[in-house]
């Protein structure tokens, strides 16, 4: 994947993201383009973001091309769970030495792909470009292509040197790699009118498994999870879904947007936290798939589940009502957790909005009410 | 007992109730009565018994429990102070140096090592009012921070100049300047610990040049003490970065008032330092020491009436404590800057961990401070020699507290040695810690099955094992087959499960255990605790294994 200035700009100015939708009045904010302030920046880099978005694909070997820090300080530490393959939890890195940096790391990378394939037999190898290998000019696209042909295995280059930007940009770079090299390269065995993709849900702590059974019960099939507990093959078939459901706000908006453009798959944006939001998720999917029977089944399910839930939550509601909390998080969580807290009768007195989009902020305002404090920027001290 | 003394017997074989009588008399013992766990019947049992007898008789622990403390023998014989038994003998007589093998692989699988900047940040965090600044992209700092937070379960201050593409190409001077000014405004650190990363070492930022330019340009930056260490990610490992940061601090900060960094303003700090006091000594605390270890070292030194300046002092910053004052963005404890500036007035340097050698030499060159290097501080002999040196430097006797702790340790060694005998232990640790643990295990009668390490070090040539690969956890998993115990960091968790071998967590990172800020394996007490921790794992496994063994005898009928 060639990462040019134009490409980065395109990723930062997604039409679906109202940070940059300049036609609208609120769109003057350019949050996506803001660069981190030296000395104050706290977040991760683009490589971190790309890893977050892609590492949950469980049967893929994630090979980090760079010095040991990038992989050594992050491998195996992310909380996304797998229902099967565990290879995604392993740390593969070319662990470049000084000599490699002087003489170039391409040959080492080529051999590394070979060794990983031989020893661990992954469904595919994802190769991550990092700051140092970008700087010394290793052409990972060429190496990946050569290795892919020679070793007969999909090898996906992910152009994610940390210095190109924030974690958020990294997420989108990850999405871009999937769009360019994976999605649409294979065909599913069968399709149904109820096929959807979940985008931006990484199955952290296995929480996706709290939602999937609900979808299954009403007859919605998740064709491809992008990328929590995903398999390479399923992601490759994602273009055959009827609907994309974005879970984590705008992190992978480029995927939803481009899949709409390329394959005509509409997308909706939902949250899976809180009673109201889960209800809305189910209703909106059913409505978008446009099947009256399905909608009826969803209503029945919601009725049954919420009745059970009210009973289960009753003792907690009694103890939690009126408690005051401060939220310090980013993006979609800044409002989705507010909604979950409100469901429990907890007052959210303040929340941060530093990585939130204008749309996120509007939702926060609605949920927080008049007295809520919204922290634009912040640090631990504040 | 009298019979044993009269007949000059080597060993007592009896029932469990006599066991401790024999042990208190420092005589080898084998349990043959009801309470034993080892089967001795039949031909197969004979082999078992021979093994146990051999192990009991020839365990290296006997020399340790029989040898008097160096200060006692010095009094008694007035001769050479260190008469340390078989182990030391073995160690110095080791004919073949351990072979350090760098594994040539194209791909590291499940890396064991962490990179240098992380180590540098860790060392810097042991200084009070410190803000480490990792010169790289945001991710360099974010990843290191997450690792440290997960290990110590504490808020960790580290900052980043957030290098993006353009400064990477054109040079990072603007980013460092902005970062420093932002830090001065936001958290106003007493000192900044700067280290480089793979990114900025590759793009070739001239750090000395940048710092000079910034100091010339901005008086606020000129007044800010900055230690600078070169720590590329693509060389060495955590302990090298840690050592580089300590070297940077002792080179850039203390003593020298004509230092271009501080001008005359440095004198201000001396007003509340303790210069010139003959009792001040420097303790260079190496990367193998956890905050709890550092605390134990400090306590030992203080008990001799000495006033230690510990650098870095993690026991005051990463020991997991709540603070009463307002939240500060910098480290809330650690070595005070005033003490670092007064390092030139120390009477002696205790360098703990081989990687502290260069720092001790820098102090010697700059201020003429003599030093002793202690590779290990775990195990009876190692602690003996440390206390003996303290004794000589302070001209005070060893406090009764430690004499008692020594006797306790000897007793604990006797109790525990049954379980260490013939055990094969596989180690994957950083060189300093590996050296300590390997020799301690050997002294307990266990066998170092294999040892894998992260980086080159002189002490890796003298290990109680033939060769030591510099490798990753994939190598470790391959080589550790057949071991009774694994000792490594938390990343070895899943391979331990695959091998079906218990894992004792040590090193960095340990993210699935509480209390890493308080772990202590140094001194007599710390050694004793380690002995119990690992002895308990062996004891549990012994019973299971003995039972499994006789069941295989039964099944082979």
| Tens digit of each residue's pLDDT (9 = 90 or more) over A295-316 | 999 999 999 999 999 899 888 8
* CB spacing of B165 vs A163 below 8 angstroms: yes
Going by pLDDT thresholds of 50, 70 and 90, the confidence category of residue A12 is: confident
Q: Is B276 exposed, middle or buried (0-12, 13-18, 19+ CB in 10 A)?
A: exposed
Has residue A271 got a pLDDT over 70? yes
Going by pLDDT thresholds of 50, 70 and 90, the confidence category of residue A331 is: low
Instruction: Give the residue with greater pLDDT, A237 vs B165.
Output: A237
Has residue B177 got a pLDDT over 90? yes
Which chain A residue is nearest to residue B182, measuring alpha carbons? Answer: A39
* CB spacing of A95 vs B181 below 8 angstroms: no
Which chain A residue is nearest to residue B491, measuring alpha carbons? Answer: A76
The per-residue pLDDT for range B342-355, each reduced to its tens digit, is 999 999 999 999 99
Torsion sign across C-alpha atoms B40, B45, B51, B53: positive
Mutate to test the interface with B, among A35, A86, A162 (most CBs of B within 10 A): A162
Strand intervals (E) in B212-262: 226-229
| Closest-CA distance of chain A to residue B154, Å | 13
Listed residue (B517, B115, B16, B315) closest to A98, CA to CA:
B115
pLDDT value of position B334 = 94
pLDDT value of position B385 = 95
Number of DSSP helices (H) and strands (E) in chain A, helices first: 15, 11
pLDDT value of position B477 = 96
pLDDT value of position B295 = 97
Measured between CB atoms, which of B143, B186, B198 is closest to A40? B186
Q: How far apart are CA A137 and CA B88, in angstroms?
A: 52
* CB spacing of B234 vs A92 below 8 angstroms: no
Q: How far apart are CA A144 and CA A162, in angstroms?
A: 20
Q: DSSP letters of A145-188?
A: HHHHHHHTS-EEEEE--GGG-BHHHHHHHHHHHHHHHTTTSS--
Share above pLDDT 90 across residues of chain A, in percent, rounded to a whole number: 62
Share above pLDDT 70 across residues of chain B, in percent, rounded to a whole number: 91
Measured between CB atoms, which of A97, A116, A163 is closest to B163? A163
Has residue B218 got a pLDDT over 80? yes
Measured between CB atoms, which of A40, A136, A162 is closest to B202? A136
Has residue A23 got a pLDDT over 70? no
Residues in chain A within 8 Å Cβ distance of B117 = 69
Average pLDDT score over residue span A86-111: 95
Residues in chain B within 8 Å Cβ distance of A101 = 202, 234
The per-residue pLDDT for range B38-72, each reduced to its tens digit, is 888 888 888 888 888 888 888 889 888 888 888 88
Nearest-10 Cα torsion for A34, A36, A41, A47? 100
CB atoms within 10 A of CB B543: 11
Note whether A79 and A205 are within 8 A (CB). yes
Residues in chain A within 8 Å Cβ distance of B197 = 69
Measured between CB atoms, which of B159, B180, B198 is closest to A67? B198
* CB spacing of A45 vs B138 below 8 angstroms: yes
Q: Which of A251-255, A265-269, A369-373 has the lowest mean pLDDT?
A: A369-373
| Closest-CA distance of chain A to residue B478, Å | 13
Measured between CB atoms, which of A38, A48, A89 is closest to B175? A38
* CB spacing of A101 vs B202 below 8 angstroms: yes
Measured between CB atoms, which of B106, B118, B179 is closest to A94? B106
- Whether omega for the bond prior to residue B509 falls within 30 degrees of 0, making it cis, is yes
Residues in chain B within 8 Å Cβ distance of A162 = 136-140, 199
Has residue A367 got a pLDDT over 80? no
pLDDT value of position B308 = 95
| Closest-CA distance of chain A to residue B180, Å | 7
Measured between CB atoms, which of B133, B180, B198 is closest to A69? B198
Residues in chain A within 8 Å Cβ distance of B471 = none
Going by pLDDT thresholds of 50, 70 and 90, the confidence category of residue B321 is: confident
Which chain A residue is nearest to residue B143, measuring alpha carbons? Answer: A73
Listed residue (B381, B406, B423, B410) closest to B23, CA to CA:
B410
Measured between CB atoms, which of B105, B113, B234 is closest to A101? B234
pLDDT value of position B370 = 95
Can you give the three-state secondary structure of B45-93, one letter per residue?
Answer: HHHHHHHHHHHHHHCCHHHHHHCCCHHHHHHHHCCCCCCCCHHHHHHHH
Going by pLDDT thresholds of 50, 70 and 90, the confidence category of residue A365 is: confident
Which chain B residue is nearest to residue A43, measuring alpha carbons? Answer: B142
Question: Count of A–B CB contacts within 8 Å?
Answer: 196
Has residue B12 got a pLDDT over 70? yes
Query: Could you tell me how far CA B50 lies from the centroid of its own chain?
Result: 37
* CB spacing of A98 vs B491 below 8 angstroms: no
Q: Which of A1-10, B20-29, B84-93 has the lowest mean pLDDT?
A: B84-93
The per-residue pLDDT for range A24-82, each reduced to its tens digit, is 444 444 445 556 788 888 889 999 999 999 999 999 999 999 999 999 999 988 889 99
Which chain A residue is nearest to residue B137, measuring alpha carbons? Answer: A163
* CB spacing of B142 vs A44 below 8 angstroms: yes
Burial code (b: 16+ CB inside 10 Å, e: under 16) for A47-58 equals bbbbbbbbbbbb
Residue B195: strand, helix, or coil: strand
* First-last CA distance in chain A: 40
Mutate to test the interface with B, among A131, A151, A164, A381 (most CBs of B within 10 A): A131
Going by pLDDT thresholds of 50, 70 and 90, the confidence category of residue B104 is: confident
* CB spacing of A108 vs B180 below 8 angstroms: no
pLDDT value of position B281 = 95
Average pLDDT score over residue span A251-274: 91
pLDDT value of position A248 = 66
Has residue B86 got a pLDDT over 50? no
Torsion sign across C-alpha atoms A333, A334, A336, A341: positive
pLDDT value of position B340 = 95
Residues in chain A within 8 Å Cβ distance of B327 = 380-381
Mutate to test the interface with A, among B148, B172, B198, B331 (most CBs of A within 10 A): B198
Has residue B322 got a pLDDT over 80? yes
CB atoms within 10 A of CB A99: 11
The per-residue pLDDT for range B419-469, each reduced to its tens digit, is 998 899 999 999 999 999 999 999 999 999 999 999 999 999 999 999 999
Which chain A residue is nearest to residue B106, measuring alpha carbons? Answer: A112
Residues in chain B within 8 Å Cβ distance of A120 = 109
Which chain A residue is nearest to residue B188, measuring alpha carbons? Answer: A39
Q: B108 - beta bridge partners? A: A93
| Closest-CA distance of chain A to residue B458, Å | 20
* CB spacing of B183 vs A162 below 8 angstroms: no
Q: A373 - beta bridge partners? A: A350
pLDDT value of position A184 = 96
What rounded mean pLDDT belongs to chain B?
Answer: 88
Has residue B212 got a pLDDT over 80? yes
Q: CA of B321: how far to CAs of B156, B190, B289, in Å?
A: 13, 20, 18
The per-residue pLDDT for range A158-205, each reduced to its tens digit, is 999 999 988 889 999 999 999 999 999 999 999 999 999 999 999 999
pLDDT value of position A33 = 54
Measured between CB atoms, which of A43, A116, A161 is closest to B142? A43
pLDDT value of position B263 = 39
* CB spacing of B162 vs A93 below 8 angstroms: no
Has residue B265 got a pLDDT over 90? no
Which chain A residue is nearest to residue B235, measuring alpha carbons? Answer: A97
Measured between CB atoms, which of B137, B147, B181 is closest to A73? B147
Residues in CB range of A139: below 8 A, 6 or more apart = A106
pLDDT value of position B434 = 97
Measured between CB atoms, which of B111, B165, B180 is closest to A95? B111
Has residue B128 got a pLDDT over 90? yes
Mutate to test the interface with A, among B137, B150, B331, B494 (most CBs of A within 10 A): B137
């Amino acid at each position: 994947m060639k990462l040019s200035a134009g490409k980065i700009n395109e990723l930062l100015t997604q039409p679906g993201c109202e940070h940059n939708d300049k036609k609208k009045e609120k769109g003057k904010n350019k949050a996506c383009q803001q660069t981190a302030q030296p000395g104050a920046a706290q977040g991760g880099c683009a490589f971190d973001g790309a890893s977050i978005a892609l590492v949950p694909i469980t049967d893929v070997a994630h090979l980090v091309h760079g010095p040991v820090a990038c992989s050594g300080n992050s491998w195996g530490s992310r909380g996304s769970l797998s229902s099967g393959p565990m290879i995604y939890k392993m740390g593969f890195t070319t662990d470049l030495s000084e000599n490699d940096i002087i003489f170039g790391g391409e040959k080492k990378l080529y051999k590394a792909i070979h060794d990983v394939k031989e020893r661990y037999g992954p469904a595919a190898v994802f190769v991550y470009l990092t700051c140092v290998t970008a700087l010394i000019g290793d052409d990972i696209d060429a190496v990946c292509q050569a290795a892919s042909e020679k070793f007969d295995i999909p090898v996906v280059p992910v152009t994610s040197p940390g210095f190109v930007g924030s974690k958020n940009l990294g997420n989108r770079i990850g999405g871009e790699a999937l769009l360019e090299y994976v999605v649409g390269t294979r065909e599913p065995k069968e399709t149904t009118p109820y096929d959807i993709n979940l985008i931006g849900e990484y199955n952290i702590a296995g929480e996706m498994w709290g939602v999937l059974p609900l979808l299954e019960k009403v007859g919605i099939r998740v064709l491809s999870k992008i990328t929590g507990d995903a398999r390479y093959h399923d992601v490759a078939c994602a273009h055959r879904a009827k609907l994309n459901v974005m879970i984590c706000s705008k992190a992978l908006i480029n995927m939803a947007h481009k899949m709409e453009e390329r394959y005509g798959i509409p997308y909706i944006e939902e949250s899976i936290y809180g009673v109201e939001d889960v209800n809305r998720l189910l209703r909106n999917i059913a409505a978008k798939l446009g099947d009256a029977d399905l909608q009826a089944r969803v209503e029945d399910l919601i009725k049954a589940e919420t009745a059970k839930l009210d009973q289960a939550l009753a003792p907690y509601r009694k103890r939690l009502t009126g408690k005051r909390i401060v939220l310090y998080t980013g993006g979609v969580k800044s409002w989705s957790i507010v909604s979950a807290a409100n469901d429990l009768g907890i007052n959210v007195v303040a929340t941060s909005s530093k990585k939130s989009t204008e749309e996120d902020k509007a939702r926060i305002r609605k949920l927080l009410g008049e007295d809520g404090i919204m922290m634009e920027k912040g640090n631990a001290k504040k | 007992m009298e019979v044993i003394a009269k007949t000059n017997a080597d060993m007592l074989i009896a029932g469990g109730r006599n066991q401790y009588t024999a042990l208190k008399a420092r005589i080898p013992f084998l349990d043959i009565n009801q309470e034993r766990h080892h089967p001795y019947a039949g031909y197969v049992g004979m082999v078992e018994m021979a093994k146990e007898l051999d192990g009991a008789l020839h365990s290296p622990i006997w020399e340790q429990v029989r040898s008097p403390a160096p200060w006692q023998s010095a009094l008694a014989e007035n001769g050479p102070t260190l008469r340390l038994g078989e182990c030391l003998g073995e160690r110095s007589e080791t004919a073949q140096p351990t072979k350090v093998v760098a594994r040539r692989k194209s791909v590291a699988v499940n890396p064991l090592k962490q990179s240098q900047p992380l180590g540098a940040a860790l060392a810097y965090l042991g200084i009070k009012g410190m803000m480490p600044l990792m010169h790289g992209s945001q991710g360099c700092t974010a990843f290191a921070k997450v690792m440290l937070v997960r290990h110590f379960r504490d808020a960790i201050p580290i900052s980043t100049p957030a290098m993006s593409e353009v400064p990477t190409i054109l040079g990072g001077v603007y980013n460092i300047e902005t970062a420093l000014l932002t830090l001065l405004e936001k958290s106003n650190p007493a000192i900044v610990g700067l280290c480089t990363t793979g990114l900025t070492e590759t793009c070739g930022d001239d750090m000395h040049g940048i710092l000079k330019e910034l100091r010339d340009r901005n008086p606020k930056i000129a007044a800010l003490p900055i230690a600078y260490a070169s720590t590329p990610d693509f060389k060495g490992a955590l302990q090298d970065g840690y050592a580089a940061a300590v070297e940077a601090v002792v080179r850039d900060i203390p003593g020298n008032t004509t230092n271009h960094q501080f001008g005359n303003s440095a004198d201000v700090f001396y007003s509340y330092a303790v210069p010139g006091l003959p009792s001040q000594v420097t303790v260079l605390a190496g990367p193998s020491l956890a905050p709890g270890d550092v605390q134990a070292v400090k306590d030992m030194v203080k008990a001799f009436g000495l006033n230690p300046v510990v650098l870095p002092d993690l026991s005051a910053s990463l020991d997991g404590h709540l603070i009463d004052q307002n939240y500060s963005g910098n480290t809330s404890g650690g070595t005070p800057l005033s003490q670092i500036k007064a390092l030139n007035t120390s009477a002696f340097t205790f360098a703990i961990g081989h990687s502290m050698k260069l720092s001790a030499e820098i102090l010697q060159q700059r201020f003429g401070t003599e030093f002793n290097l202690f590779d290990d501080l775990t195990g009876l002999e190692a602690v003996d020699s440390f206390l003996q040196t303290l004794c000589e430097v302070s001209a005070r006797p060893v406090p009764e507290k430690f004499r008692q702790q020594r006797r306790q340790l000897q007793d604990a060694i006797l109790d525990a040695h049954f379980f260490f005998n013939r055990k094969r232990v596989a180690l994957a640790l950083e060189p300093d810690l590996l050296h300590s643990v390997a020799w301690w295990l050997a002294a307990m009668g266990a066998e170092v099955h294999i040892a894998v390490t992260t980086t080159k070090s002189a002490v890796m040539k003298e290990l109680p094992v033939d060769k030591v690969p510099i490798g990753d956890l994939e190598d470790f998993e391959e080589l550790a087959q057949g071991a009774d115990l694994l000792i490594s960091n938390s990343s070895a968790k899943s391979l331990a499960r695959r091998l079906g071998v218990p894992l004792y967590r040590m090193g960095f990172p340990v993210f699935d255990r509480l209390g890493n800020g308080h772990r202590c394996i140094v001194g007599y007490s710390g050694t004793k605790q380690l002995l119990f921790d690992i002895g308990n794992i062996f004891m549990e496994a012994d019973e299971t294994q003995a039972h499994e063994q006789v069941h295989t005898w039964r099944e082979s009928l």
